[in-house]
Amino acid sequence: MKAYDYDCPVEATLEVIGGKWKATCLYYLIEGPKRFSELMELLETASSRILSKQLKELEEHEVIKRKIYSEVPPRVEYSLTDYGKTLLPLIEMICDWGERRLEKTGKKAIYNESH
């Protein structure tokens, strides 16, 4: 067993937000709770299996919470926890830097177009 878990604290953060869709999910959750299907639509190219896995991991890291409504058809809403909200400035900074990089590289993001 190792004496340390990380080389540097930055790794502890990347472990939480570093999955393929995680930061993007968090970003979309900033504006408020979203259901599974809403996230699916926003993350056009993600499969439901992967998305649900990433959401589960975010939940395990306690940055989002999952609320189940006992209805038919089923309804589930994901939202940021208080702890997750501490990530907010970080996520926004990540998004800002990404936007500048889009300008620099000429690449495009769906999100940018729809705003």
Partner DNA sequence: CAGCATCCCTAGGGATACTG
Partner DNA sequence: CAGTATCCCTAGGGATGCTG
- Shorter beta-carbon distance to DNA: residue 60 or 103: 60
- Shorter beta-carbon distance to a second copy: residue 7 or 71: 7
Is 36 an interacting residue with respect to a second copy (CB under 8 A)?
Answer: no
User: How far, in Å, are 41, 77, 86 from residue 36 at the CA level?
Assistant: 9, 7, 23
Quick one: 87 exposed, middle or buried, by C-beta within 10 A (0-12, 13-18, 19+)? Answer: buried
Q: Measured from the CB of residue 70, what is the shortest distance to DNA in angstroms?
A: 11
Is 38 an interacting residue with respect to a second copy (CB under 8 A)?
Answer: no
Q: Measured from the CB of residue 50, what is the shortest distance to DNA in angstroms?
A: 4
The single-letter DSSP state of residue 18 is: -
- The pair phi, psi for residue 82, each rounded to 5°, is -60, -40
Is 9 an interacting residue with respect to a second copy (CB under 8 A)?
Answer: yes
